Structure 1
Amino acid sequence: MNKKQLVILGTVLLTGAALGYGFAHLPSADSAPTETGQKREILYWVAPMDANYRSDKPGKSPMGMDLIPVYADDAAAESAEEPALKINPAVVNNLGVRTAKVERSTLYHPVHTVGYVTPDDDKISLIDVRTEGWIEKLYVKTENEWVKKGDPLFKIYSPQLVTAQTEYLQAVKRNNASLIKASEDRLKALGMRDKQIRTLRKKRQVESLTDILAPQDGVILTLNVREGMFVKPGDTVLKLADLSSVWVMAEIFENHIAWVAQGQAAEMTIAGKPEKTWQGVVDYVYPVVDPVSRTVKLRLRFENPDLFLKPNMYSKVRIKGRSRENALHIPREALIRTGSSERVILALGEGKFRPAQVVSGLEAGDRIEILSGLHEGETIVTSAQFLLDSEASMSVGLMRLHTETGNSTEATDHAIDHSTLSHDPASHDPASHEGGDHSQMDHSGHSDHSGHSDHSEMSHDPAAGTATATEMEPGKGMDHD
């Protein structure tokens, strides 16, 4: 061996020794150097496009992408922070996200409804007769005529009234006080007024026809007689209503009943005079809910000095409902209602959002009371919250936090461990897997077995014909060649 060959051999040996030393000091697969030179512990590998896909060693994801490591220090830092949905500020701006503060103040809830005008029952008089007789003359000919208190309504001929007048005049003539008092009481019982009795005593002449007078101002609502008709006690001759004050009958839905109470102020407008607003009060809240319409009746009282309000007029009513003191409330549009729960989206700042389960209370216009789940001063999303809620529902950590708060089941946690799941041997053909190692097998494009997941770490025993999945992702199918 000459000198040249010795030089080449020495160079090769030195190069091999250097390479061997370098490979010996490379970081292991389960660690990586930090800035201080310390090794970082790798917990597992995840797919770049699917954080639910995990593996205990490097490899390819179902989409063919390289798995990326998750280090212990990064996981610890993330777990120390509150789970939140992070969105780029530019995306937040493009989504048109708007926010509002949770406020605490007094809630007022005006109740709007419609009603119709009706006479005040307390100011309705039924005019009848207290003795048999005949209507000889009617002073009011038609309904809806206006009369004043003391105006004659009709004349009646009654033999009993004629006899009672005669007895009264005889008692006056004899100046018998007891007879006068008894005769006077009988005339009143038969329907004569004090003024008519005084006129009779003054004239000392029996009137065969007796006037029946109006007991109050009002309008004739019903007129049931005509001249010449025979009437007897119990027959309603006419109905007289004083319209100086009227009732308005309205209805509200049962979910508004908590805001309405007797004595509250009310306002009313009429289509025939929209520029005027009538002021009234809630006179009575009926205690029964209508089983068909699911509404509660209200009776409101309004003054009607100019008699503009007519029975059966339609009206729009606004009731100044009860106030809820020191109530925590948010904009009604911010509340997300589902079939079993209610929630809002909290804006944590710096593009971070998180769902929060709440319990709502009474509604007051565009505000809604929050009984639990929020605190005064917190910021919530009022626009695009449904998009954020949909995105948050895809995050395992956020949904676990949400379901734990709402006492829900753990079914939303998709990181389910199937390491001990075994399959029915009938579903695998031993002949097709004989001696095969399928750790890197691509099963795309074959039959789907719903309810199973990725089998990149699955090995098959040809003798038993079974398969064991070390890591599976729920919701994805298993394919076999």
Structure 2
Amino acid sequence: MNKTLLMSALLLALGAGGGYWAAKQTGDGATAKEKTPLYWVNPMDPRDKRDGPAKDNMGMDFIPVYEEKQGGSPGTVTISPEIQQNLGVRLAKVEKLSVHQQIETVGYVGYDEDRLEAVNARMAGWIRTLAIKSEGQQVAKGALLYELYAPDLVNAQHEYLLALNTANPLLLRAAEGKLKSLQVPSDQIAALKRTRQVRETIGIYAPSSGYVSELKVREGQYVEPAAALFNIGTLKQVWVSAEVFERQAAQLKVGDPVTMTLDYAPGRSWQGKVDYLYPTLDAATRTLKVRLRFANPDEFLKPNMFAKVSIRTGQGEPRLVVPSEAVIRTGSQDRLVLALGDGSFKSVAVTLGPQFGDKVAIREGVEAGDSIVRSAQFLLDSESAIDSDFQRMTAVRPAEVWTQGEIQGITLANRTLTVSHQPIPEWQWPAMEMEFTVADGVDMSKLTEGQTLHLQVMQEGDEYRITNIHQEKAPATDGDAKPAANEMEKMEGMDPSQHEMGAKP
């Protein structure tokens, strides 16, 4: 019975061991497969990548980059929350909004020229009485503008009276038509027919209500036929002349809504529309003149007022938009930095659309709901290589590191050591031989070639300086091999600070 139990236990143990061996072999195979390098990168220049092993001009081996070191996706960088806080990383969302293009510009208020009326002289004569004394004077429809003495008018009245006496309807119709062509009002013709008395002057009355925009005549002045005397305009509706940049001209169309504000009228705004786009650009300023139309029922708006206008273009179709400050613009490519979660970030290329105030449209590259970095994105993107492929950035590069190395050469005059040191993972350095400057506070008198040391190295700009040395082993000879071994046995249980040969300067 006991033998049977013992045999069963042995078989179970062998089965478990075989399973463990098989699992280990499978795991090792998968690991070996996973550890195939994606590419090799220059330890001194992350942008320098190679498809196979290589050396740089200093003889340093390129570092293999593996898939698992890229956070599962090439181009991804992982940053701890502490580093994110230090960098000031802020996030935003890619939104899909119905947006309009806003064109901000300025303009000047003017008369609605469609409603301007010109008053011209119909006959030669002298202005006897002028009711309009200055430009800007308000007039009502039918109000007297001026009285004119004209010899042709006197002759035309006499001809009309003669036609009345002949009772010839043809002559009467011709004489009456002549008076009307001379701008004699119908009521004055009726008065002439009734009283049979010729008047030396004729009164000219305002054809519409408004303001006198131009006054080109004075009392007593002689005027010729067709001479321009007045322009009368209304302020119930005004034009605003504005200019937009050449690049914005294609976005505009007649009928686009416009909002106008005045700095000296806070709280008020006027709604209008684009009335006309002029066909030519200003050659000096490269701008397009645009005419805007606004209702002005209270006549608050006056000609030559300075205004700010905002023209809304487009149909308001849904677009993907991001804050414009989040976009990294370069000469050849525009990019956004995606926040993938768990401290991972990735720079992606995007195609930009039009600008909408403080937002910019994205045509392709991201999707609605994606998280993006809106501040410190330049610091993150600076870690990327060509085409937004990030290098691994798990912590801030330390300024000082410890490494182990063997002295290959000593130059006391220049205080330099040539050391063959071990790999330095903090700086992504492979094992190599390199010359270092030794700080002034470090004792070099007891150093000899062949010694193995613990070195503290500090980066100062482009220079690497040894600031501390811990002796690990002195070069051995036949006569002192045993004392050296005894010394090593003593140092094995000591803290490195207890056998320090140098100090920081």
Given the two structures, how large is their TM-score scaled by the length of structure 2? 0.64
Structure 1 residue 43: Cα displacement: 6.7
Coordinate RMSD, CA, aligned: 3.8
Cα 1:128–1:69, aligned 2, differ >3 Å: closer, same or farther? closer
Structure 1 residue 331: Cα displacement: 1.4
Q: Quick check: 1:286–1:297 contact (8 Å CA) kept in 2? A: yes
Equivalents in 1 of 2:145, 2:174: separation in Å? 27
Alignment of 1:245-284 (within 5 A): 245-284=237-276
Q: Quick check: 2:347–2:389 contact (8 Å CA) kept in 1? A: no
Equivalents in 1 of 2:162, 2:387: separation in Å? 106
Structure 1 residue 362: Cα displacement: 0.7
Structure 1 residue 221: Cα displacement: 2.1
Q: Is residue 228 of structure 1 aligned with residue 223 of structure 2?
A: no
The residue matched to 2:259 in structure 1 has which SS?
strand
Cα 1:373–1:226, aligned 2, differ >3 Å: closer, same or farther? same
Structure 1 residue 125: Cα displacement: 1.9
Equivalents in 1 of 2:97, 2:270: separation in Å? 30
Alignment of 1:59-458 (within 5 A): 75=67, 81-393=73-385, 397-398=389-390, 444=435
The residue matched to 1:166 in structure 2 has which SS?
helix
Structure 1 residue 63: Cα displacement: 11
78-87 or 371-380: bigger deviation: 78-87
Q: Any unmatched runs of 5+ in structure 2?
A: 1-23, 392-430, 437-461, 463-505
Q: Quick check: 2:110–2:238 contact (8 Å CA) kept in 1? A: yes
Equivalents in 1 of 2:242, 2:51: separation in Å? 68
Q: Quick check: 2:91–2:374 contact (8 Å CA) kept in 1? A: yes
Equivalents in 2 of 1:232, 1:55: separation in Å? 93
Read off the aligned partner of 1:108 and give its amino acid letter.
H
Equivalents in 2 of 1:47, 1:393: separation in Å? 12
Equivalents in 2 of 1:299, 1:106: separation in Å? 27
Structure 1 residue 295: Cα displacement: 1.9
Q: Quick check: 2:347–2:388 contact (8 Å CA) kept in 1? A: no
383-392 or 121-130: bigger deviation: 121-130
Given the two structures, how large is their TM-score scaled by the length of structure 1? 0.67
Read off the aligned partner of 2:337 and give its amino acid letter.
I
Read off the aligned partner of 1:166 and give its amino acid letter.
H
Equivalents in 1 of 2:369, 2:343: separation in Å? 18
Q: Quick check: 1:261–1:322 contact (8 Å CA) kept in 2? A: no
Cα 1:143–1:70, aligned 2, differ >3 Å: closer, same or farther? closer
Equivalents in 1 of 2:305, 2:388: separation in Å? 60
Equivalents in 2 of 1:159, 1:252: separation in Å? 54
Equivalents in 2 of 1:328, 1:386: separation in Å? 22
Equivalents in 1 of 2:266, 2:50: separation in Å? 70
Equivalents in 1 of 2:306, 2:49: separation in Å? 66
Structure 1 residue 394: Cα displacement: 7.9
The residue matched to 2:291 in structure 1 has which SS?
strand
Read off the aligned partner of 1:178 and give its amino acid letter.
L
Cα 1:49–1:222, aligned 2, differ >3 Å: closer, same or farther? closer
Read off the aligned partner of 1:336 and give its amino acid letter.
I
Equivalents in 2 of 1:191, 1:273: separation in Å? 44
Q: Quick check: 2:75–2:347 contact (8 Å CA) kept in 1? A: no
Structure 1 residue 259: Cα displacement: 4.2
Q: Any unmatched runs of 5+ in structure 1?
A: 1-32, 400-439, 446-475, 477-481
Cα 1:396–1:267, aligned 2, differ >3 Å: closer, same or farther? closer
The residue matched to 2:383 in structure 1 has which SS?
helix
Structure 1 residue 217: Cα displacement: 1.1
Equivalents in 2 of 1:191, 1:309: separation in Å? 34
Cα 1:155–1:255, aligned 2, differ >3 Å: closer, same or farther? same
Indicate the residue corresponding to 1:462 in structure 2. none
Read off the aligned partner of 1:136 and give its amino acid letter.
R
How many residue pairs end up in the alignment?
A: 370
Q: Quick check: 2:43–2:63 contact (8 Å CA) kept in 1? A: no
Cα 1:275–1:53, aligned 2, differ >3 Å: closer, same or farther? closer
Q: Quick check: 2:74–2:389 contact (8 Å CA) kept in 1? A: no
Structure 1 residue 258: Cα displacement: 4.2
Read off the aligned partner of 2:97 and give its amino acid letter.
S
